[in-house]
A = this chain, B = another copy of it.
Amino acid sequence: MKVLMKGNEALGEAAIRAGCRHFFGYPITPQTELAAYMSKRMPKIGGTYLQAESEIAAVNMVLGASAAGVRAMTSSSSPGISLKSEGISYMAGSDLPALIINVQRGGPGLGGIQPSQADYWQATKATGHGDFQVLVFAPSTVQEMVDLVSDAFDTADRWRMPAMILADGMLGQMMEPVELPEEGEHASTEKPWAANGHSNKREHNIINSLYLTPDKLEELVVERYKRYEQVKATEQRAEEYLCDDADVIIVAYGASSRVARSAVNKAREKGGKVGLLRPITLWPFPTGALQKAAGHAKAFLTVEMSMGQMVDDVKLAIDCRVPVHFFGRTGGIIPTPGEVLAEVEKLL
């Protein structure tokens, strides 16, 4: 039978089952249950739970563990993710895989502790300084959190880049029934590049992001962007819900996509041709699915728990061919299906 688990705890258990034995964290609401869960489980299975002195230390411990070739992760919430941004940029610049979880809360600053999606831009465009991307997964149910954890680890290993799960306080705190995968189902990846001792059998490995010769640095960045193009071509994911005949398509991810789904149902009950396109990967952004949808939809509406961030990516994905509207609540407020329905009806 399925078990009822909090999203935060499910993330932890899923990571363990995906072979992660190294968790480095620092407490912050609303993700504390994840660290608490790891601190209970890891000692039992010979893994490492380490409560670092700060988010910065935690992300750099992940950098070290990942450099050694193991699956490593850290988690935090918005202000803590800002602090991790330098380290994430280093991991990207060093081609290191890792899993970073952001259980977003209201911002800016200390903000609040209620759910938010206002770190979308940070996650998808500028997790840190410089030219780079991280994989960004946006689960919308506790079950999907479980599933995406192992996908995120696998994808990160495959492309040698950091992956982020962009969740929020609602998903982290809520309980839903989940089915957990058997442990060890994940593909274990060879990491010949890892810095784990050369045993006098090979040249020394160097994990590094410093390149003082601009040509060399450019070459590496360009190479990385070629990889990103492959990632874009192969890893885009989105769910389409009643989109085929829809005149208006709501685009929403994570917590707000659940609200949007209810709104779609209500609209359909009233006969409105409304669909939901739910990005599962935010980077790479599901441009393909959006372009397809733009072929028949008359309008898009993004529903976000922010002042409007993904809306721009939707416009860009469809070259502004169809009007894209925005509805959002922020500061920790979860919109209601009724509010969303009202917005949608304006567009029908």
A198-231 to B contact mask, C-beta < 8 Å, 1/0: 0000000000111111111111111001000000
Q: Please tell me if A338 contacts chain B, counting CB pairs below 8 Å.
A: no
Q: Which listed residue, B83, B121, B129, touches A86 by the CB 8 Å rule?
A: B83
Q: Across the interface, do B212 and A112 meet the contact criterion of CB distance under 8 Å?
A: yes
User: In whole angstroms, what is the CA distance A113 to B211 when docked?
Assistant: 9
A214-B331, A218-B333 known; A225+B109 contact, CB < 8 A: no
A108 / chain B contacts, CB cutoff of 8 Å: 89-90, 92-93, 128-132, 209, 221
Q: Across the interface, do A210 and B111 meet the contact criterion of CB distance under 8 Å?
A: yes
A315-334 to B contact mask, C-beta < 8 Å, 1/0: 11001110000000111110
Q: Across the interface, do B213 and A112 meet the contact criterion of CB distance under 8 Å?
A: yes
The residue in chain B whose Cβ has the minimal distance to the Cβ of A225 is B307
Those 5 A-B pairs whose CB atoms lie nearest each other, nearest first: A107-B130, A93-B109, A109-B209, A108-B130, A218-B331
User: In whole angstroms, what is the CA distance A210 to B332 when docked?
Assistant: 12
A239 / chain B contacts, CB cutoff of 8 Å: none
* Residues from 163 to 221 in A contacting B, C-beta threshold 8 Å: 208-221
User: In whole angstroms, what is the CA distance A332 to B131 when docked?
Assistant: 11
Which A residues form the contact surface with B (CB < 8 A)? Answer: 56, 78-79, 81-83, 85-86, 89-94, 104, 106-114, 116, 118-119, 121-122, 125-126, 128-132, 208-222, 225, 306-307, 309, 312, 315-316, 319-321, 329-333
Q: Across the interface, do A214 and B79 meet the contact criterion of CB distance under 8 Å?
A: no
- Nearest chain B CB to A63's CB is how many angstroms away? 10
Q: Specify how many copies of this chain sit in the oligomer.
A: 2
User: In whole angstroms, what is the CA distance A116 to B131 when docked?
Assistant: 10
Q: Across the interface, do A79 and B111 meet the contact criterion of CB distance under 8 Å?
A: no
User: In whole angstroms, what is the CA distance A125 to B121 when docked?
Assistant: 6
Q: Which listed residue, B83, B106, B125, B218, touches A217 by the CB 8 Å rule?
A: B106
| Besides A107-B129, A114-B214, 19 new A-B residue pairs in contact (Cβ under 8 A), listed by A number | A78-B130, A82-B86, A85-B85, A93-B109, A93-B111, A104-B129, A106-B130, A108-B131, A109-B209, A110-B208, A112-B213, A125-B309, A214-B333, A217-B331, A217-B332, A221-B330, A222-B330, A312-B316, A316-B316
Q: Which listed residue, B79, B89, B91, B331, touches A82 by the CB 8 Å rule?
A: B89
Q: Across the interface, do B109 and A218 meet the contact criterion of CB distance under 8 Å?
A: no
Q: Across the interface, do A112 and B211 meet the contact criterion of CB distance under 8 Å?
A: yes
Q: Across the interface, do A332 and B93 meet the contact criterion of CB distance under 8 Å?
A: no
A209-B108, A212-B112, A315-B316 known; A129+B82 contact, CB < 8 A: yes
A122 / chain B contacts, CB cutoff of 8 Å: 125-126, 128-129
A94 / chain B contacts, CB cutoff of 8 Å: 109
- Nearest chain B CB to A210's CB is how many angstroms away? 4
A106-B214, A125-B121, A331-B214 known; A131+B307 contact, CB < 8 A: yes
User: In whole angstroms, what is the CA distance A52 to B215 when docked?
Assistant: 33
Q: Across the interface, do A107 and B86 meet the contact criterion of CB distance under 8 Å?
A: no
User: In whole angstroms, what is the CA distance A89 to B80 when docked?
Assistant: 12
Q: Across the interface, do A112 and B217 meet the contact criterion of CB distance under 8 Å?
A: yes
User: In whole angstroms, what is the CA distance A220 to B106 when docked?
Assistant: 12
A129 / chain B contacts, CB cutoff of 8 Å: 78-79, 81-82, 104, 107-108, 118-119, 122
